[in-house]
Amino acid sequence: MTARTSELYGVILAAGKGSRMARLPTDLPKCVLPVLGKPILAHQLDLLADLGIRQVFVVVGHRGFEVVREIERLPDRGLSIEYVEQRETLGIAHCVGGLEPLLDRPFLLLLGDIFLRRPRLAEMIDSFDHGAVDAVLSAVYEDHDDALHRNFCIVEGDDGFVRRVVEKPRHPPTRLKGVGVYLFTPVIFDAVRRTPRTAMRDEYEITDSIQILINDGYRARAARCVDGDVNLTVPADLLEINLDALRERGHTTLISPSARVSGQAKLTATIVGDGATVEAGAELSECLVFPYARVPANARLRRAIITRDGVCTV
């Protein structure tokens, strides 16, 4: 089976609650928080469109109307988007299983709260086409143990195929960390149906489903197709994602054309969103200003996120 991109489905899981983001003064779900002036989910939709994928399913849950509203505001990228409601949050595998009636061919799955650094997702499709596999796992070499402890690691055999995936390993057997992007054939649904609920998190883990798929004799590969990833968990993650992206693009500041920034304001390493206002005398350093937020005159802020509802210093 080959994965001509026009025949691939795209899937974005955007149903998480993000309880550890509660300190951030906004009701927006994690997946639509802004990175360089547009929602994280918009960056993911751009990736899918650039690959030539045309049909996308977005799974929504907590405050799903906010997700839909933000997507509908985006410029048209030629994508046909269908929204699927997830009524229970019982893990990624549970969410994927609910899509079985809709997906009858291979699909590229992205987690909606992951920001990818220099993604090259076409390499996943190349690996799929030339490897006669039923799963391709996006991966990156990880030097930091704490990042491996929070995610999953991938163990490859001498033949280059994946032998094991280990969820949140206490003692990582490899440095190859899985990233929240997967390419599956519909074979994954059979594995999902036989995935047990975990005792630790009381959820259905997608890594357990992948391991079942491998144990059944199906083949999986890892694709080293990103330079890094950030799982958006706490407000500091959002600020770091924006500052890193700003540096990577060679900008010192980024101000939306529709923002109103006083000539007497001083901005350093700061992103200002659509319709935001920064008044005279304000000094911002390493800050993120949400769309339509207001920074009052003479405010002095460093490493802060300013929303329409308040300020969070990180």
Tokens of 96: 């994927």
Which one-letter DSSP state was computed for residue 76? Answer: P
Q: Three-class SS string for 133-158?
A: CCEEEEEEECCCHHHHHHCEEEEECC
Same domain, 13 and 153: yes
In a domain, 244, yes or no: no
In a domain, 209, yes or no: yes
% the chain with pLDDT above 90: 79
Same domain, 63 and 180: yes
Tokens of 98: 């609910």
pLDDT of residue 61: 86
In a domain, 83, yes or no: yes
pLDDT single digits (tens) 263-283: 999 999 999 999 999 999 999
In a domain, 237, yes or no: no
- Name the amino acid, one letter, at 42: A
Same domain, 195 and 56: yes
Q: Identify the residue with better confidence: 21 or 167.
A: 167
Same domain, 30 and 166: yes
| 155: CATH | 3.90.550.10
Same domain, 172 and 273: no
pLDDT single digits (tens) 221-265: 999 999 989 888 899 999 999 999 999 988 889 999 999 999 999
Same domain, 180 and 130: yes
Distance CA 86, CA 112 (A): 14
Distance CA 98, CA 189 (A): 9
Domain with 16, as residue range(s), is: 5-231
Tokens of 80: 């046909």
Res 202 pLDDT > 90:
no
In a domain, 241, yes or no: no
If pLDDT is split at 50, 70 and 90, which confidence band does 1 have? very low
Across the chain, which distance is largest between two alpha carbons, in Å? 66
Of the candidates 231, 265, 285, which is a domain's last residue?
Answer: 231
Paired strand residues for 306: 289, 311
* CB-neighbour burial class of residue 156 (10 A; exposed 0-12, middle 13-18, buried 19+): middle
**Distance from the Cα of residue 186 to its chain's centroid:** 22
Contact 30, 21 (CB under 8 A): yes
Closest CA to 41 of 125, 115, 94: 115
Q: Which of 102-106, 138-142, 143-147 comes out lowest in average pLDDT?
A: 143-147
In a domain, 240, yes or no: no
Res 152 pLDDT > 50:
yes
pLDDT of residue 215: 97
Of the candidates 231, 263, 286, which is a domain's last residue?
Answer: 231
In a domain, 239, yes or no: no
Same domain, 266 and 206: no
Mean residue pLDDT across the chain = 92
Distance CA 291, CA 274 (A): 5
Same domain, 273 and 133: no
Residue 277 CA: distances (Å) to CA of 255, 259, 269, 306, 308? 10, 6, 17, 11, 10
Strands 220-223 and 260-261, sheet pairing: unpaired
Distance CA 167, CA 201 (A): 12
Distance CA 192, CA 175 (A): 26
- Name the amino acid, one letter, at 114: I
pLDDT of residue 2: 44
Q: Identify the residue with better confidence: 16 or 164.
A: 164
Distance CA 27, CA 37 (A): 17
Q: How many domains does the chain have?
A: 2
Of the candidates 164, 197, 231, which is a domain's last residue?
Answer: 231
Q: Once rounded to an integer, what is the mean pLDDT over residues 118-141?
A: 91
In a domain, 238, yes or no: no
If pLDDT is split at 50, 70 and 90, which confidence band does 189 have? very high
Contact 314, 297 (CB under 8 A): no
Same domain, 169 and 294: no
Same domain, 209 and 274: no
Same domain, 72 and 143: yes
Same domain, 207 and 308: no
